[in-house]
Structure 1
Amino acid sequence: MHFCLHFIVVVFSASLLPESKATTDKLDVIALNSLFKDLNSASRLKGWKLDGGDPCGDVWTGVACYGSSVTHLTIPQLNLGGYLGQLDNLHNLRHLDVSSNNIEGEIPYGLPPNVTHVNMACNRFIKNIPHSLSFLTNLRHLNLSHNLLSGPIGDVFTRLQSLKTMDLSNNKFTGDLPKSFGSLTNLTELFLENNNFTGSVVYLAELPLITCIKRSNAKKLESLDSSVSTHHSHIISPSIDFSTAAQTASPPFANISSAFNLASRRNPTVLLTNTENTARRKSSFAGELKFSTNPKEYTVAELQLATNSFSEENLLGEGSLGPVYKAEFPDGQKYRSFLFKAFAVKVINMASLSFDEEEKFMDVIQMASQLRHPNIVRLIGYCVEHDQHVVVYEYVRNLSLEDALHNEVFKPLSWGLRLGIALGIARALDYLHSAFHPPASHSNIKAANILLDEKLTPRVCDCGLSVLRPLTSNSAKTKVRTSRNHLVGFMDTASEIAIMNTGYIAPEHGQPGNDNTKSDVYAFGVLLLELLTARRPLDSSKPRDEQSLVEWASFRLHDSESLQQMVDPGIRRTFPARFLSGFADIVSLCIQPEKEFRPCMSEIVEALALLSQKMGTTKSNTAVGGTEVEPLLDRSFRSTQTCFVGSPTASLAIDGT
């Protein structure tokens, strides 16, 4: 039976104790500095700074604090542009209001984890609601109305039992209402009008909605839904009795103020009709925003110019799919509101492809280009000119997690950093597994495929490309590395497949009907062991009974003395030993031989987040994406390696599964 084991998690509540000295928490300062930059350093944000400052001690527009913690961020109607970066470092923020501005791009995946009120109405947000919304268990009021959100709404409401009011009206949502609507057991006000929903509204029938659709009407809708004989979704007809609701529709744009208007409406309602909404749009919305939904197509000439004709000086490394080069554009290139000056260009050694195989390649590129997560390397574009198959990524600093853990030129990563890195990777995998239908998987998780940027935030790369491996040329050669600067021999693709087990491969690999998301969980468990011990997953230099990290560690995870001895000697006894048992429990479940007993990534994220909060890593000197950054340590991390390069030793030289 396929099921997920559930961790017992405790909702973390930050203790907001007043302090006599109004010095803002450094993590909050960094988050607001970053937000100021993302909002194009708007002049209307008086007192805000790009670096440093004291939002709680000084006067920053829209910022309110309790003690040293930022608790309210209310900056509506300021004509702000730019976009919202990640906000998940604002751990004590309760109220977020950025409504009635001109903020564009996507709603950030990283949202304040303890927020109770969110108002992003009347902006230019596109795409869909991020899956991370489901982690905001304290959320009570949500307003995303009057934006450009589109597509089906995912099942992102499962854990939001605290949610009381929600307005998703005046967007471009399509498809069925999500099943998780039915779990909103405290929802009293819901606004969905002026979208393009189709299908059943049965999930609304048992909600404690006040008048809106009256309960009697909801029962009628349920009855109507059960009587439909076809299996296809039916359009919700405007002829259904919405007379009560029609009188209390969402107000015009001009009436939506900086206050959260949902709470002030006397007769809340649910409207699902598809009436025209252009009159309720800001006049500036008249011209549709030109956001590309497809990856950028490059020419060979463009990439030759940017890589100095794919010169040796621009070579970042060699992987099993082909070489990777650094590409630089003098004036940068703008892509979806982001300006990039450097890219990583991966040249894939493809065999001669059939028409169907070419289509498969394009499907992979199209899917991978849609991935939007702060812990995933962004795929920018591709090139298929002159039978070339090239993939273009954003450029991230040349430091892989493998180098950071196993290269002696670097200082040991602190336990807090390792825990934060693990949490970032887990969030990326949870996004892949949960935000798509059918679920996407990485299928090649390992330390060499994790980049650490300038702030040591983990960035997972090569997402989705593992399925291209069968399309690569049989004559493609992979360089086998024994050290950073020495190459010894070559290995053809067939040989690579024969010895591809580098220690991350799940026992069920290759079996029919294999669930690759569960294989990702196994590989992530191995990665957690690697972070804990600083040992490689397979190491032929060790005694025979210690060569496999999983086999060596499995029987030691639940013995406290052995567990402490497993910790990387470089950080042993630098943190309380009591935190090890919780970490070991997570590892033990991830590396279960039977995939059915491995947890879902969403549960792993919750467990690691709880452990991180208990450890206090979120209160470190500086942090981005949940990871602790130590300035002196950061300066020591300078490398020419990249996640596209094979491992430094021959035993781990193969980049792939």
Structure 2
Amino acid sequence: MVKASEGSFRAASAMASLRFTGVAMLLLVATSTVVTADTSSDDVTALNTFYTSLNSPSQLTNWVPQNGDPCGQSWLGITCSGSRVITIKLPGMGLKGTLGYNMNILTALVELDVSYNNLGGSDIPYNLPPNLERLNLGNNSFTGTLPYSISQMAALKYLNLGHNQLSDINVMFSQLTNLTALDLSDNTFSGTLPESFSSLTSLTMLHLQNNRFSGTIDVLSDLPLTDLNVANNQLSGAIPDRLKSISNLQTSGNSFSNSPAAQAQPPPTYTPSPPRQPSTGNPGKSDTTPSTRSNGVNGGDDSGGGGGRSSKIGGGAVAGIVMSLVVLGAMVAFFMIKRKSMRDQRGHDPEKNEPLRPIASGKFNQLRAINIVSPAAKDGLHKTVSMNLKPPSKIELHKSFDESDPTNKPVMAKSIDLSSIRATAYTVADLQTATDSFSADNLIGEGSFGRVYSANMSDNKVLAVKKINFSALPSNPSNFFIDLVVNISKLNHPNISELDGYCSEHGQCLLAYEFYRNGSLHDFLHMPDGYSKPLSWNSRVKIALGSARALEYMHETCSPSVIHKNFKSSNILLDDELNPHLSDCGFADLIPKQELQESDENTGYRAPEVTMSGQYSQKSDVYSFGVVMLELLTGRKAFDRSQPWPQQSLVRWATPQLHDIDALDQMVDPALEGLYPAKSLSRFADAIALCVQPEPEFRPPMSEVVQSLVRLVQRSSMGSVLSGESNSRRYQDSE
């Protein structure tokens, strides 16, 4: 019995051991399965943001806006290797929105294909995945400038940006030696081909058709191209002999001197492609088929028939008739081309109700037209503007406004449609009376573009009148100024200084704005007059949030987007309730003239890439905004020579301390007297740190900055800041 019991016990022990081992094995397998399927946290974060930026479309099965497991849960279009996402393929999905702001953390991603959607409406984000081999953003609605971060993608082999609305190339191609296919077709690129194209030593396919490129194509002569399409541009010169041997070469619609059709007829004018509808057919194939046009020219035999017939018209007369027809045809062609050229320079056809088209940055012949899109999509962003127009709907500018115009240069005749200017047209007499003939007593400041005077109008309204320096204007100040007024009047946002009126007569260029009695943020922070109370923490957050919303509107609501280029605390005006109003908006095309007028103040706000290359972008505005946030936090100037050398540059001094709680407390403006919530201060500093990143691709878009400030306000129970009401009471962080 004892032995039997011992045997039974051993058997039971063996069975229990086997069961434990089996359970352990199952647990081990299950655990290993979870680990294998668990996606990298960085990749999850980036895809969550991307999904939110696409407005959380239902067609992306298994995608979620927070957390989730893209690799383990088989998110649509996602391919993984281990725990890392390596491809995103979502062509032809009917997606809207844009790319996520933090896709640069997808460091294992080698292919991104979101072609044939409706993404864009703004610039392509800077922070693209850095190690991509294939990038396909073709057939979308991206506008503006190519992000400079593409310059750093050394592994890139295929790049398709065709069929968008891109206008500027801000990419150096020197490092893209692995690139084999590049498609920039059907955009609005202009200017000469980038010299760095010559570094694309692996490039075999290049599609540039249906743009506005000009100059020669000599820079392509040494590339190993087998497929080149430059049709329908404004290119000229000779086609290099090396390129003539390419099996697939399309050059029609240009002015090449050695093109077969160059002598046969004038080059056809370029007609922009009609707006593309979202594609539903064959989304997987990129639309890179060359666009060809039939010249419709038949060689014809000029020898004629019936050589034995005797003509009653002499040979000299025939020759004269032929020559007359040739001359007449040449004149007609010349004026047609000239008329097209003038339309392109003005941006629209005066006989058609077409919107102005953007021009390449840095040119002074006209300003970019600003069209506001989707006004209903931005709640609370818009204010109505008076449309009290004194002049007739059209005004002819046949000469300078006044013979005493200091520029003393003739102005081309130009018909300006003033019906789109939502502001009052004042006379010089109106403004002279209101400013006591621009007396020194009424001088309230001098900005980058001229002096500013207070004006007491006859209806008891007080305005700030900016008298534009002629030195800041290009060669035709009259035309340029009217274009400037048209564009400024279209900017309509509660946090942008409102244009009340303008004056353009007797050689004067004057802009009248609403007057804000509290002056600029710079003066409020750095030049206390003994009457103003220090800004509370609540007010500082409100000023930061309102200013951020103004930049967000300019960058992401205006079409094309508007870059400020001169964002600083002296351009933030405060009303009676300390609400911010951004000034000098729409003056970006004057900035190149002002770059020679350097100052310590401007140096403190300038992003590193602007200092090095002069390249402004939305991200340089973001950097300048971060500097203003630092001013609000510390009470210090952006650049102050009175400080010891290590502390003269506010960014250089403050940035290393933004994530150190103890150091942060020491940095805060003493005028606050410690009356601020510690957690709100820390979140404010986190937003600053992102904005003043030295690399532009790592700075967030302004919409993300706005959201971070909104979350700061919500978590701190600062409801009055969101509603725009003034509130200077002390409060405690709700957390």
TM value normalised by structure 1: 0.47
Higher relative contact order (CA 8 A, sep 6+): 1
TM-score, reference length from structure 2: 0.43
